[in-house]
Structure 1
């Protein structure tokens, strides 16, 4: 590809990049959820009655502090998305992009407040007026609550403005305002104008999201299954975050009155109930889309599939794949990260992956039918303990091990039959000896031989852009023929996904951030060829 021609970004790639930016606030949400879950459960009256020692005033102060800190992520979620999107998508000057995201979000709400005030709707404390116009207090500003969707729109607009204007050159008299300083300035103007339009167009957006929520609700018991299966099917393409965000943070995931406030989105409802002192128990309509649905597959099914792959491997290869499978199971059960296992069979047996997606969706429906109410995001053992066991038998946590055991046996039987019957080349069944990766260089924090990974990617001169999500490197390259998939896998890459002639993803696993950082360091030491386009980090 000629260096002079800018690489064209397809809609598919744009949404991949957008979904990746969701990971920063979602990772914080996961941590905040655990803090809030532990704090709220150990300060509850039921737990204190059962364990009087935790009623000690010092302990209660600690638990209350944990609840307060944990509630932060959910109180300021929209503004975090508005900042994280331009931060993650910007090519250069990411700090300016994030700052401009904050500016844009605030200005949008100030302009909306101005419009409502001019129309005589605000100021008002009448709850009927506020509800009729969907008005909430946002960062101290009375404005229309556009939720996560509004924040995503702000983030995208700011990103586009940043890419267009962050290198702008102004006349000498105005040069001080040029370059990166111009980005928050133009953001203020553009988002200020957008804020005047929000009251006119937002009812249409809200109606669309409500219609999607009604569609899911009308699906009845199949609603959670459609969501769970869809999320797994989108995962190989890196697009699952879009669907997840819609269900977790918008009206599509349900709307409920919690502590006198109307809350929308499955995860938002769950977290609001966690922090509301007058709420007892969790809404099944919200938790049916959350952690509990993943637990049959994550805690039972995939470990069963891993054991089947181990037993189906050639005896002489079992010791070589044992560490790979164990680390994959630990990442899945403890961290809720499934790709290290899923990518072991995704490419060699897509039908098995399709069946896994359906069984994951079925797990969502079964948990919902059983009335289990365990929330949060990850579906791992931490969520099971913090949001299940610690909140008492009302969550019906005791049903999870039973269903997980059934899924374990089912996955094991299905995978073992399919692998042996159709001679599927899962790890350890290859005709040739398994490749042995060379040791990581001294001082490597990731534990991977990153210089060899860079060589397998075609060298520094072949890389156009480099980024990562939760488990994979996301790259654009000049020449895809220079990428050596076999060598990448020999150096412990779990899988390689070729999206088109210039874009690929390399599945690394939980240590992907360290691998990306070391690659970034190598690229700075070995600058790309003079005809290459700038690196995106």
Structure 2
């Protein structure tokens, strides 16, 4: 039974990590949408933004391009998911999924054209929010959103993993590989499209009811959502919490992020309360702890470190805190204390949820899922003119919670004598959290390799070598590996000595906390899995090319 649970956890974590692949694009495109709207607003930039001016025309064009990932979000998820889920030939898996997903939508379009009333769907309506219909790659189809796209992509990847390497007779050779996968998908999508036409309209009614319930759940709903989003970070399952809210239909059609951008201009020119206009925005306050809580946590760890070690600890905490504060990536900071003091992480989740709930109670809403840079461009700059009091309130509450974080963390660290960075008597332990030493037993003579090459080699050795690796993928900051024998995996010290921020070890599902360079490190890690014994020389040559 335990093995079955372990296998399920491996699959769920891998799936959650794969979902994050397209999410990495949203910060940049979101900033560009907000910046375009800001630069087209005459109240902010003056008469230069009037319609017909070259300035207005330029930003109008930029804005259209910036909407790409939000207007094509289901298609993006369908194409991106195979990158994380396919066991091999990821590019071909993405192509296959694209074709199968388009076939699926054409089937639905044809069925609704012929039998729309039978399914309870008015196919003559315009594909707009609330209609139950959507335009996908210029196909008028059911609005199954990101969730439906993920489901179809999962089926396609399953077919790819099962059929891509099937060997057919020579006279059928043209149907091998990707062709066989797409052929299977072509026929399988036929009944699946019919099932969606039959049941999805009822699912849409259920989603509408859920949206209404969450709207009236108020402060408690915001608290519970934020708590779950934080507390599940160590497991990697937090993607399943925020994704349906931010990018899916949990509280508003199209997701909070898309809805907020679509209405940003009206929010920016209205003096009505933001909470009245956008009550769903309370479910996007989970980034508040990234801005305010991370500073209090870092100050508490610095204050409780031994005086002789504070300079070294500052070198660790400052970049980790800035990463959380500016970029909204908290794992480098959180994983400096998670494994030595899990209680602190539980307290962090409670405080983060309370910060979001209190902010919402005082009228703070918006798209605050990221760091300082993203939040400024998406919220404060375009909306400050009419909503200054809301944001002043947000900062007052935030700074109060920075103080609360500091006091609570400092008390707990001292009271329980948690061995957070800088408090250990073991000099080697303190070096776990620095970048001064990338040596690992069995890894030597790495001169000429860049930092990511050295880390990849060290992590591979600590994971038991290439023969112990079954699957590899990544999310925003973690290298996710499924191993064959988890007893061969070394303890957290081996990984942090090599430059990792921490390790999550759930049976055969291993997560190495790397940081924002994880996608480049994964490429090198996978290259080592297929390299010849002298693969290190090849890595050196690649490094010299760049």
Q: TM-score range by the shorter chain?
A: 0.7 to 0.9
| Separation of aligned partners in 1, 2:216 and 2:362 | 19
User: After superposition, what is the alpha-carbon deviation per residue over 1:36-66, rounded to whole angstroms, capped at 9, x for unaligned?
Assistant: 00100121132133xx566693433332233
CA change 1:191–1:368 in 2 (3 A) is: same
Which residue in the other structure is 2:494 paired with? Answer: 487
| Separation of aligned partners in 2, 1:335 and 1:448 | 25
Which residue in the other structure is 2:452 paired with? Answer: 446
2:301 to 309, 317, 336: 309
Deviates more, 1:441-450 or 1:398-407: 441-450
User: After superposition, what is the alpha-carbon deviation per residue over 1:376-427, rounded to whole angstroms, capped at 9, x for unaligned?
Assistant: 6414333224422233233433333222211111111111111111100101
User: After superposition, what is the alpha-carbon deviation per residue over 1:140-191, rounded to whole angstroms, capped at 9, x for unaligned?
Assistant: 2222111111111111111111111111223333221112221122212211
1:173 to 171, 174, 185: 171
In the comparison of the two structures, how many residue pairs are matched?
509
Which residue in the other structure is 2:413 paired with? Answer: 419
Answer yes or no: is 1:101 the counterpart of 2:108. Answer: no
Answer yes or no: is 1:46 the counterpart of 2:43. Answer: yes
Q: TM-score, normalised by structure 1?
A: 0.87
Runs of 4+ with >6 A deviation: 6-9, 129-133, 275-279
Summarize the alignment of residues 424-439 of structure 1 with structure 2, pairs less than 5 Å apart: 424-433=418-427, 434-435=430-431, 437-438=437-438
Contact kept in structure 2, 1:293 and 1:368, CA below 8 Å = no
CA change 1:123–1:215 in 2 (3 A) is: closer
> For 2:363, what is the secondary structure of its paired residue?
coil
Summarize the alignment of residues 273-288 of structure 1 with structure 2, pairs less than 5 Å apart: 273-274=263-264, 280=270, 283-288=277-282
CA change 1:218–1:390 in 2 (3 A) is: closer
Contact kept in structure 2, 1:67 and 1:275, CA below 8 Å = no
| Separation of aligned partners in 2, 1:382 and 1:130 | 28
Summarize the alignment of residues 57-456 of structure 1 with structure 2, pairs less than 5 Å apart: 57-119=53-115, 121=117, 125-126=124-125, 134-254=132-252, 263-274=253-264, 280=270, 283-290=277-284, 292-295=285-288, 297-375=289-367, 377-395=369-387, 396-433=390-427, 434-435=430-431, 437-438=437-438, 441-444=447-450, 446=452, 449-456=455-462
> For 1:344, what is the secondary structure of its paired residue?
coil
Contact kept in structure 2, 1:445 and 1:514, CA below 8 Å = no
Structure 1 unaligned blocks of 5 or more = 1-5, 255-262, 529-537
Contact kept in structure 2, 1:497 and 1:504, CA below 8 Å = yes
CA change 1:8–1:294 in 2 (3 A) is: closer
Contact kept in structure 2, 1:110 and 1:195, CA below 8 Å = no
What RMSD, in angstroms, separates the aligned Cα atoms of the two structures? 2.9
Which residue in the other structure is 2:477 paired with? Answer: 471
Deviates more, 1:7-16 or 1:491-500: 7-16
> For 1:289, what is the secondary structure of its paired residue?
helix
| Separation of aligned partners in 2, 1:488 and 1:311 | 26
> For 1:425, what is the secondary structure of its paired residue?
coil
Deviates more, 1:416-425 or 1:189-198: 189-198
Q: TM-score, normalised by structure 2?
A: 0.86
> For 2:187, what is the secondary structure of its paired residue?
helix
Contact kept in structure 2, 1:221 and 1:368, CA below 8 Å = yes
Contact kept in structure 1, 2:18 and 2:473, CA below 8 Å = no
Deviates more, 1:63-72 or 1:211-220: 211-220
Quote the offset at 1:70 in angstroms: 1.3
Which residue in the other structure is 2:442 paired with? Answer: none
Quote the offset at 1:32 in angstroms: 1.1
Contact kept in structure 1, 2:231 and 2:346, CA below 8 Å = yes
